[in-house]
């Protein structure tokens, strides 16, 4: 019997400071946006064109605490994890889809800023499944972070 594979590895720069929240059961979850730059050649002129893809990264439990404590806007990080696609209904009644990277491992690649203490231990953790979302959960469409984490 074969098993599926859902794995993604990214290296990029954090777009803004991570945001940590807690589930109703008390589990910490931290979320941040990651910008991944790539280059391609223009077919007409042969010039290099830079493209940026943005990913929402979600960290759970110990990894969430690590991300909240050590990652800052502009930090270059390596993220390994899996893609998760969530579907939900927004406040306006429209069906929405959120694609997230559920992190299994996060490594700091930038030098540590002076105001951030040195990390202790390895920032890895086994994947923890996200809690099931209640069907009547509503989201604030004005805040782009609220359509990512259901609490």
Instruction: For 36-86, write each residue's pLDDT tens digit.
Output: 999 888 888 888 889 999 999 999 999 999 999 999 999 999 999 999 999
Superfamily of domain 8-108 in CATH is: Nucleic acid-binding proteins (2.40.50.140)
Count the Cβ atoms, other than its own, within 10 Å of residue 148: 18
| pLDDT band (50, 70, 90) for residue 94 | very high
Q: Put residue 74 in one of left, alpha, beta given phi > 0 → left and psi -120 to 50 → alpha.
A: left
Contacts of 43 (CB under 8 A, 6+ apart): none
Radius of gyration of the chain (CA): 17
Q: Put residue 61 in one of left, alpha, beta given phi > 0 → left and psi -120 to 50 → alpha.
A: left
Model confidence, pTM:
0.71
The domains of the chain are located at: 8-108
| pLDDT band (50, 70, 90) for residue 146 | very low
Is the distance from CB of 104 to CB of 80 less than 8 angstroms?
Answer: yes
């Amino acid at each position: 019997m074969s098993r599926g594979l859902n794995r993604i590895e990214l290296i990029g720069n954090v777009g803004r400071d991570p945001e940590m929240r807690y589930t109703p059961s008390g589990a910490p979850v931290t979320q941040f946006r990651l910008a991944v730059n790539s280059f391609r050649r223009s077919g007409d002129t042969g010039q290099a064109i830079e493209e940026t893809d943005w990913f929402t990264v979600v960290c759970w439990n110990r990894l969430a605490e690590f991300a909240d404590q050590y990652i800052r806007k502009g930090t270059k990080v390596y993220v390994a994890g899996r893609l998760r696609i969530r579907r939900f209904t927004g406040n306006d009644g429209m069906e929405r889809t959120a694609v997230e990277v559920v992190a299994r491992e996060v490594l700091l690649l930038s030098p540590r800023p002076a105001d951030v203490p040195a990390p202790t231990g390895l920032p890895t953790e086994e994947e923890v499944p996200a809690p099931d979302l209640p069907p009547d959960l509503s989201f604030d469409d004005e805040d782009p972070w609220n359509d990512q984490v259901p609490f």
